[in-house]
């Protein structure tokens, strides 16, 4: 950051690391059905969960079906533009009211025809004469708590606990610069992975697996130079520098132009092979690539990027919000991860969204549906991801074997590095507080 053309915000420089011990984790935290049931009962109902983006449900009556951890919700836009979330269960005989997202004037059960308005109030009971014991006000659909921040919609089943703003802190302060509320989803891909949700999430919490898992990105990735931070109980971050060579690479004979060329081929968030960037003599690859991105993203979005720092145009700022939400910061297209048990301790729905900034006067495009890859489809089948599909496929190829290995571990222990895997330890420390 000292060598960049613009001074970075103070919050990117401030280190927030605290040693959390070196004791091993127990492998059965990932494999035990009993431990998984404890998560379902004690943790998931009490945490804020990213359920949808505003652009997923732009009009009154639009709703998103959000399912996780044994619950099903209809996250619904009201006539006044507000959002409410209702449990997606008919209060008559228990059938789910909806099986997919959409738009509706009412939620009518396909079994017997009990119906609710989109504000959750009871609308109709067929053969009403047979239910004199039921009062309308007692049959409103149960609700979950709803919170909104930066274009993201969150729900929480429990009415008790911190506000969304307190839960996310310090994320709202950090992301003011990056304005995710001005972004929209342009790509959304999901796939079920044969591994525990924590195994999958943790694969994206550290950068030092790059040297073995993603060797093609080493020429422009400071993998072992990543800064790791934790904030309170619910937020942690990894800041990984790009357009610099990995310390695992011998720099002898490696020109700055080579770094840029490799960046454009394999980064995935940059302009790709159609973009050409020349590095003048005496200039670093980092400065040249940042200048090119500054010009490109200013032209694409219509926003002034003259103040935007090199780091915010290049680096991977990966923030995690406990337990299963990870938005990327900066001004490049923003990646957003979400992980959900699907449905048990051995499988996870991994979702990847790509957000881009729209020009201020541009209408938002229609909502993007998730490209749900089948069991036999690799991530590379999602052509919209470009070279990112190759990176995700490399990650996913490890994870089923991690899950299998944890099940047959002789000592039943998982060892963690003190610094580079602090985010993994942080997740488990917070999980333990909910389970207690």
In a shared domain, residues 175 and 146: no
Domain range holding 105? 48-156
Selection from 243, 187, 225, 232 nearest residue 322 by Cα = 232
- Given a contact cutoff of 8 angstroms between Cβ atoms, the answer to whether 139 and 107 are in contact is no
What pLDDT, on a 0 to 100 scale, did the predictor assign at position 117? 98
- Do 246 and 173 lie in a common domain? yes
The two tokens of residue 300 are 């694409």
1 domain-assigned: no
Q: What is the pLDDT at residue 271?
A: 61
How far is Cα 310 from Cα 317, in angstroms, rounded to an integer? 13
Report whether 276 contacts 254 (CB < 8 A): no
Given this model, what pLDDT does residue 267 score? 87
User: For the segment 266-292, what is each residue's pLDDT rounded down to a tens digit?
Assistant: 987 876 557 899 999 999 999 999 999
**Is residue 220 located within the same domain as residue 297?**
yes
Q: What is the pLDDT of residues 341-376, one digit of tens each?
A: 999 999 999 999 999 998 878 888 899 999 999 999
At 149, list the tokens: 């921040």
CB 319 within 8 A of CB 243: no
Question: Residue 298 burial by CB count (10 A; 0-12/13-18/19+): exposed, middle or buried?
Answer: middle
Same domain for 201 and 345, yes or no, is yes
Task: Report strand pairing: 49-53 vs 152-156.
Answer: antiparallel
In the chain, DSSP finds a helix count (H) and a strand count (E) of 11, 20
Letter string b/e over residues 152-182, b meaning 16 or more CB atoms within 10 A of that residue's CB: bbbbbbeeeeeebeebbbbbeebbebbebeb
Among 118, 136, 156, where does a domain finish? 156
**3-class DSSP state for residue 221?**
strand
Q: Could you say which of 113, 132, 156 is where a domain stops? A: 156
DSSP assignment string, 306-360:
TT--TGGGT-EEEEEETTTEEEB-SSSPEEEEEEEESSSTT-EEEEEEEEEEPPT
Q: State how many domains the chain has.
A: 2
Sign for the CA dihedral angle at 257, 262, 268, 272 comes to: positive
User: Measured between alpha carbons, how far apart are the two ends of the chain, in Å?
Assistant: 41
> Which pLDDT score is estimated for 192?
98
d(CA 45, CA 42): 7
CATH number at residue 198: 3.90.380.10
Residues 410 and 303 in one domain: yes
Last residue of a domain, one of 156, 174, 203: 156
Report percent pLDDT > 90 for the chain.
Answer: 93
> In what order do the strands lie in the sheet containing 49-53?
49-53, 152-156, 143-149, 83-87, 71-77, 62-68, 102-103
CB 153 within 8 A of CB 51: yes
Give the Cα-Cα-Cα angle 352, 373, 29 (nearest 5 degrees). Answer: 65
Strands, DSSP E only, in 118-182?
122-124, 143-149, 152-156
Residue 161 lies in a domain: no
Show pLDDT as tens, one digit a residue, over the chain (436 residues): 899 999 999 999 999 999 999 999 999 999 999 999 999 999 999 999 999 999 999 999 999 999 999 999 999 999 999 999 999 999 999 999 999 999 999 999 999 999 999 999 999 999 999 999 999 999 999 999 999 999 999 999 999 999 999 999 999 999 999 999 999 999 999 999 999 999 999 999 999 999 999 999 999 999 999 999 999 999 999 999 999 999 999 999 999 999 999 999 998 787 655 789 999 999 999 999 999 999 999 988 888 999 999 999 999 999 999 999 999 999 999 999 999 999 999 999 999 999 999 887 888 889 999 999 999 999 999 999 999 999 999 999 999 999 999 999 999 999 999 999 999 999 999 999 999 9
322 and 341 in a single domain? The answer is yes
Q: What is the pLDDT of residue 272?
A: 57
Q: What is the pLDDT of residues 137-185, one digit of tens each?
A: 999 999 999 999 999 999 999 999 999 999 999 999 999 999 999 999 9
* CB 40 within 8 Å of CB 251: no
55 and 36 co-located in one domain: no
- Name the residue among 225, 403, 427, 421 with its Cα closest to residue 326: 427
- Residue 112 shares a structural domain with residue 242: no
Query: Is residue 349 included in any domain, yes or no?
Result: yes
Do 81 and 208 fall within a single domain? no
pTM: 0.96
Looking at the fold, whether 21 and 56 belong to one and the same domain comes out as no
Query: Are residues 183 and 327 located together in one domain of the fold?
Result: yes
- DSSP secondary-structure letter at 231? E
CATH number for the domain that contains residue 148: 2.102.10.10
């Amino acid at each position: 950051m000292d060598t960049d053309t613009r001074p970075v915000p103070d919050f990117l420089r401030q280190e927030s690391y605290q040693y959390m011990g070196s004791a091993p984790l127990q492998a059965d935290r990932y494999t035990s059905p009993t431990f998984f049931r404890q998560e379902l009962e004690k943790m998931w109902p009490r945490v804020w969960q990213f359920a949808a983006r505003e652009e997923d449900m732009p009009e009154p009556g639009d709703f998103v079906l959000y399912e996780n951890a044994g619950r099903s919700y209809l996250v619904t836009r009201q006539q006044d533009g507000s959002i409410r979330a209702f449990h997606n269960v008919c209060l008559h005989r228990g059938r789910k009211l909806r099986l997919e997202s959409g738009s509706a004037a009412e939620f009518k059960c396909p079994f017997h025809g009990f119906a609710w308005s989109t504000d959750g109030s009871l609308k109709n009971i067929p053969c009403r004469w047979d239910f004199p014991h039921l009062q309308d006000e007692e049959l409103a659909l149960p609700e979950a708590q709803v919170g909104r921040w930066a274009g993201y919609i969150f729900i929480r089943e429990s009415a008790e606990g911190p506000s969304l703003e307190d839960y996310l802190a310090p994320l709202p302060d950090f992301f003011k610069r990056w304005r995710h509320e001005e972004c929209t989803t342009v790509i959304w891909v999901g796939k079920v992975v044969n591994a525990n949700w924590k195994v999958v999430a943790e694969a994206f919490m550290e950068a030092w697996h790059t040297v073995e898992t993603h060797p093609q990105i080493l020429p422009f990735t400071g993998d072992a130079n990543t800064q790791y931070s934790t904030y309170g109980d619910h937020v942690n971050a990894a800041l990984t520098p790009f357009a610099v060579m990995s310390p695992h690479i011998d720099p002898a004979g490696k020109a700055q132009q080579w770094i840029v060329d490799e960046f454009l081929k394999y980064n995935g968030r940059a302009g790709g092979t159609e973009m050409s960037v020349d590095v003048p003599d005496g200039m670093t690859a980092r400065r040249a690539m940042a200048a090119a991105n500054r010009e490109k993203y200013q032209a694409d979005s219509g926003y002034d990027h003259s103040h935007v720092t090199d780091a915010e145009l290049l680096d991977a700022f990966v923030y995690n919000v406990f337990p299963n939400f990870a938005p990327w910061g900066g001004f490049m297209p923003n990646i957003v991860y979400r992980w959900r048990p699907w449905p048990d301790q051995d499988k996870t729905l991994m979702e990847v969204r790509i957000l881009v900034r729209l020009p201020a006067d541009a209408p938002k495009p229609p909502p993007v549906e998730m490209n749900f890859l089948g069991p036999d489809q690799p991530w590379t089948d999602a052509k919209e991801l470009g070279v990112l599909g190759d990176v995700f496929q490399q990650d996913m190829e490890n994870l089923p074997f991690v899950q299998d290995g944890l099940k047959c571990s002789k000592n039943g222990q998982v060892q963690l590095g003190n610094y580079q895997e602090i985010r993994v330890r942080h997740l488990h420390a917070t999980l333990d507080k909910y389970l207690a």
